[in-house]
Structure 1
Amino acid sequence: MFVVDETYDVIVVGGGHAGCEAAWASARMGLNTLMVTMNLNTIAQMSCNPAIGGTAKGHLVREIDALGGVMGRVIDQTGIQFRMLNRSKGPAVWSPRAQADRTAYAITMRKLLETLPSLSFRQDSVHDLIIEDRRVTGIRTTLGVTIRARAVVLTTGTFMNGLMHIGLKNLHGGRSGEASSTGITETLVNHGFVFGRLKTGTPPRIDSRSVDYSKVEAQPGDTPPSPFSFYSSGITQPQIDMYMTRTTEETHSVLKTGFDESPMFTGRIQGIGPRYCPSIEDKINRFADKESHQLFLEPEGIGTNEMYINGFSTSLPEPVQYQALRTIPGLEKVKMIRPGYAIEYDYFPPYQIRVSTETKTIRGLFFAGQINGTSGYEEAAAQGLVAGINAGLYCRNADPFVLKRSEAYMGVLMDDLVSKGTDEPYRMFTSRAEHRIALRQDNADRRLMEMGYQLGLVDEWKYKRMVSKRTFIQELFQLSQRIAVTPAQVNTYLERCGSTPIEQKVKLSDLLKRPEVDLAEISSQVQEIQVLMTNFDHSESYLPDAEIEIKYEGYLKRELEQIEKVHQMDGYPIPDKMNYDSIKSLSTEGREKLKRMKPETIGQASRIPGVTASDVSVLLIYLRH
């Protein structure tokens, strides 16, 4: 057994989206960090859809960026189509999404990581953890190498005992063409952890040259495209269209011929799959009355002919996949590059971690990504950033970094995992955030960048620019409350935009609450706004954010009042070794759930399914005495 002389502060196991953010955060904070991954050429690989963001997921990416993470910066350099989703709805649910050049994304991420002097890399597979006195102290690899560290972050993705299914065939692997990893699950189980099995899947890939584009509908991106990162000056690379088509009744008939060889329907797959992203066979089985389902044809990059079929995830036999594809409009002569498949993998139910991502059983051991039961690059990256930050703080003997539900979607994500657990792949939605009017994607920098700056993840010039933006928005908000506009100033504009003209002076903030009134348009008519704008660089780009604050003032005020009540509940800590059996007034179900989940605060306890309001009251009385 070879022992590496150097002891690291933090070892990150895995080079996926969680691993990249964890390694970046730890190294940026000055910790001596090592990333160990099975293949250095697949760092930041997009195993499934080559896209970043989407509903609620885009919020996570903006928050990662505001805290000093890297996902937003990388997609801005490599995205080939950008769209802001849900524009027809309120700004609380506007969500950015970008299609990525898969290869360029991975290369750019690796280059960025390699700029960090305190980050080292090793290509190897970890099969064991060194645990002494309930504290992790290092790793052992399949090549017989022991490496010591003060903290370890596990970001294993779908690789732990991964098993891929295509029809009745199955192959051991963590991803197409890559081996699975073994040993870590067994080590953790020996130390008292509970594990489960989950399943995810991916669709077939096709040759874009074999698509009949006269039969599919082009889906252009936004013009101009909006960047994810608060630091990006704009998108400069070429942008391309995506395409939409639909399945047909014939498609469904062909797919049904493979049901008797479906690993899902025959029981060969034991893991639970994502309810919100079902396979195509699951869709036509569960929604038998639907005649067709939307499919999106998404190029995997500028310099490749490979195309991803969004909405056609499947593990049916390859011949059935091929025949079904050829019944879809535009794909009658399609060439399939590789079939879709399902993959089962080990995960550890997340009630076994804290909201800092550190495990409750082993000190210095952190879990991030699919090991916690989540699905998606963005959810993984968010956890990875939190894990990397907290691994660094752990090495400094500092208090952990914890985001509240009222502060960020990342806080909602971590609290949901720890308080509610999950027995299916967890995906973020805007509906999961009860404070979503306050947690918009546009204000992520104003909510979180100061925290990132204090942690050492955000450069000073970026922080100062955010402070300037925040000050401008505050001053413009106050100005709109003070000044009134006259009919002579604004009626011409109001008539042009289809709004009722005013007959007397009206406070500017009241006028801006009209949905059709645009702050950028009306600002040219108000001298006080023009004067204010001259005092701030980039002020024109800040106007949309200021407008949201003014238009939704009433809603935001009510939400902040609700947030204050939640903070009071989260302010009551629960001791680590709480003896719930000694509290006789708890309900039987509540007691069992509390013993299993081990909440850290009264607020967390109140969000555990099965814990009643009466149980929470009993806990409060007990803790006060």
Structure 2
Amino acid sequence: MFEKEYDVIVVGGGHAGAEAVAAAANMGSKTLLVTMNLQTIGQMSCNPAMGGIAKGQIVREIDALGGYSGIITDKSAIQFKMLNKSKGPAMWSPRAQNDRMRFAEEWRLALERTPNADFYQEMVSGLLVDDNVVVGVRTSLGIDIRAKAVVLTNGTFLNGLIHIGEKQFGGGRAGEKAATGITEQLTDFGFDSGRMKTGTPPRVDGRSLDYSKMIVQPGDVNPEKFSYLDTQKLKEQRDCHMTHTSALVHDVLREGFDRSPMFNGRIKSIGPRYCPSIEDKINRFADKDAHQIFVEPEGWHTVEVYVNGFSTSLPEDVQYKALKSVVGFENVKFFRPGYAIEYDYFPPTQLKHTLETKLVENLYFAGQINGTTGYEEAASQGLMAGINAHLKINEAAPFVLKRDEAYIGVLIDDLITKGTEEPYRMFTSRAEYRTLLRQDNADLRLTPRSYELGLASKKRLDRMEEKLKNSDKFVEFFRNTSYTPEEMNPILDEVSSASVKQSDKMFKVFSRPKVTMEHMLRLDAVSAFVNDNNLDTEVLEQTEIQVKYSGYIAKEKNNADKLLRLENIKIPDGFDYSKLKSLSYEAREKLEHIRPVTISQASRISGVSPSDISVLLVFLGR
């Protein structure tokens, strides 16, 4: 039935698994995706959206590296928004609403069109391991499939347990059974495991809602897109809507607290802090009389609606009664109730930066198995695991992104250095160098590196180099071209900025906070340059950021370069920390457990103080 031996086997077909398959196969590895249901490849298990604060930057990074998530998001989008436009460009975050069915279909078709990718539908019940090296997987039918590397992307399926009120049943997702066998085997190998929880809201019939009572949430007037390739921008969009809970809704919900698995002890694991259930919200924020509810369509043509902000595991009758009390939901009809799900994960401090496990060679973990939450976080890990699995079996150098290179680098470094005891979600605040890690320049940061790997195409590289050349040329134009007071002062008066008395270079006046590219384009010399060079909106945006934030960018780059020196100081393999009596007991314990590769990584471990780092530097001759 199968190849004698695959290069890479990926277990699980969610966002992490799909990107892992695409990466390994596109780099030349003969790759097999084994999943319990081929109809749910790329399934949006929770909300029908991609991107958001920091998450949008991750999708753009995946795209810049040659992954598929950005392309598929663009092909299935029904609305696009650039969030945080009122703030600086480091905070701008793209987000798209998606057609859930089209998104999964586009993922399936994209993988089927990928050379070197094979598919098999069945549950993987265990791993084949020979002398601490993974050599394949075993399915529930007892079939052994051999491989040089295995990537586990099991999502919420490992011993998944679904809760709705006092009812509970095994499952990895509504309507799908849990995966068993893998956790038990991994703990036998010496892995630590834990339990986490996530939840999802009810899905309802949009025909039963009264949108006239809600606040319309339209997409951007001029919507952008995720992929740096030539995917189409949206020409029409579907509106979302917003409504609110009330004190009445909260009172109804409280009636069911005694039957809530969160409050009666049935759920013992920790859920996502930044995406709490509605019962958790009204319990933790008892002083608030209302919480926002976002009403999100599931696609272009379906009437199914996602009730964002109403995640719950309360009994279905309480869910229904409470939701009927929400403005606009008075006649609501349920498609299915919300639920919570508990599942196994493995603390990610047991991984290397490549996402290979420390205990079993050539075995990689990606996605929620590592304690993360979110499609975007999972997809980025899948991409990196797929890349590194291919590189490892071909005896090539690993591909690791540093914290100043990508949000993906921040994510993975946080996970393996600090670990996580609650579902990890990416935020812009987690990155020290977010001025460098913007959504607009992900291609400039990452496409050259991905092209060197053989993953990003020549077409991607050419587009990136053209954009860089044009934006650099445009920045130089502003540095070298002067304005006259007569043409500039009307613009400055309009934005209440001090007028100028003599000519000067455009770069200087363009750097003022209230002066935008739109204003500068009114100058004849600027509009002529744009038209003569056929510059697109991406180049205009990139140029404006380079002009306005050049000082901040240079300062942050300088800070990153200073810390890079610590990144270059390697800690020898098998280093015996017990020899260093000057280290604090906590530092010694944490360093022994995590085994950092560099001094820089050691400095980011919770409990390792600056004085402990000084001890290490002295011992290493620095």
The bucket for the TM-score relative to the shorter chain is over 0.9
Structure 1 unmatched ranges of 5 or more? none
CA contact (8 A) 1:12 1:152 kept: yes
Match of 2:611 in 1: 614
Match of 1:373 in 2: 371
- Alpha-carbon deviation of 1:508? 1.5
| Inter-partner Cα distance in structure 1 for 2:265 and 2:161 | 14
Query: Judging changes above 3 Å, is the alpha-carbon distance between structure 1 residues 559 and 5 closer, same or farther for their aligned structure 2 residues?
Result: closer
Match of 1:388 in 2: 386
Task: Report the TM-score, using the length of structure 1 for normalisation.
Answer: 0.97
CA contact (8 A) 2:520 2:526 kept: no
Match of 1:598 in 2: 595
- Alpha-carbon deviation of 1:209? 0.4
* 1:414-453 correspondence runs (5 A): 414-453=412-451
Q: Please state whether the residue corresponding to 1:82 is helix, strand or coil.
A: strand
- Alpha-carbon deviation of 1:581? 1.0
Calculate percent identity across the aligned residue pairs: 55
| Inter-partner Cα distance in structure 2 for 1:233 and 1:133 | 47
- Alpha-carbon deviation of 1:4? 4.0
1:35-63 deviations in Å (ceiling 9; x for gaps): 00000000000110110000000000000
- Alpha-carbon deviation of 1:303? 1.7
The one-letter code matched in structure 1 to 2:413 is D
Q: Please state whether the residue corresponding to 2:541 is helix, strand or coil.
A: helix
The one-letter code matched in structure 1 to 2:621 is R
Match of 1:258 in 2: 256
Asked if 1:548 corresponds to 2:520, the answer is no
Q: Please state whether the residue corresponding to 1:610 is helix, strand or coil.
A: coil
CA contact (8 A) 1:520 1:543 kept: no
Match of 1:482 in 2: 480
1:94-115 deviations in Å (ceiling 9; x for gaps): 1000011000000011101111
Match of 2:621 in 1: 624
| Inter-partner Cα distance in structure 1 for 2:455 and 2:523 | 41
CA contact (8 A) 2:79 2:234 kept: no
Match of 2:579 in 1: 582
| Inter-partner Cα distance in structure 2 for 1:86 and 1:197 | 34
CA contact (8 A) 1:485 1:526 kept: no
- Alpha-carbon deviation of 1:117? 1.9
| Inter-partner Cα distance in structure 2 for 1:416 and 1:326 | 41
| Inter-partner Cα distance in structure 1 for 2:3 and 2:109 | 27
The one-letter code matched in structure 1 to 2:584 is S
- Alpha-carbon deviation of 1:462? 2.1
The one-letter code matched in structure 2 to 1:337 is F
CA contact (8 A) 2:223 2:234 kept: no
Q: Please state whether the residue corresponding to 1:92 is helix, strand or coil.
A: coil
Mean alpha-carbon deviation: is it higher for 459-468 or for 155-164?
Answer: 459-468
Alignment counterpart, residue 9 of structure 1, candidates 7, 10, 32: 7
| Inter-partner Cα distance in structure 2 for 1:5 and 1:407 | 38
The one-letter code matched in structure 2 to 1:279 is S
Count of aligned pairs between the two proteins: 622
Structure 2 unmatched ranges of 5 or more? none
| Inter-partner Cα distance in structure 2 for 1:538 and 1:24 | 32
- Alpha-carbon deviation of 1:612? 0.3
Mean alpha-carbon deviation: is it higher for 232-241 or for 340-349?
Answer: 232-241
Match of 2:322 in 1: 324
- Alpha-carbon deviation of 1:77? 0.6
Alignment counterpart, residue 466 of structure 2, candidates 465, 468, 471: 468
Q: Please state whether the residue corresponding to 1:93 is helix, strand or coil.
A: coil
Match of 1:134 in 2: 132
| Inter-partner Cα distance in structure 1 for 2:256 and 2:17 | 37
Query: Judging changes above 3 Å, is the alpha-carbon distance between structure 1 residues 5 and 446 closer, same or farther for their aligned structure 2 residues?
Result: closer
Query: Judging changes above 3 Å, is the alpha-carbon distance between structure 1 residues 447 and 5 closer, same or farther for their aligned structure 2 residues?
Result: closer
Q: Please state whether the residue corresponding to 1:131 is helix, strand or coil.
A: strand
Alignment counterpart, residue 562 of structure 1, candidates 547, 551, 559: 559
RMSD: 1.5
Q: Please state whether the residue corresponding to 2:90 is helix, strand or coil.
A: helix
1:122-164 deviations in Å (ceiling 9; x for gaps): 0011111111121111000001110000000000000000000
- Alpha-carbon deviation of 1:451? 1.1
Q: Please state whether the residue corresponding to 2:95 is helix, strand or coil.
A: strand
Alignment counterpart, residue 113 of structure 1, candidates 104, 107, 111: 111
| Inter-partner Cα distance in structure 1 for 2:586 and 2:182 | 32
- Alpha-carbon deviation of 1:595? 1.2
Alignment counterpart, residue 90 of structure 1, candidates 88, 92, 97: 88
Match of 2:520 in 1: 522
- Alpha-carbon deviation of 1:445? 0.7
Q: Please state whether the residue corresponding to 2:456 is helix, strand or coil.
A: coil
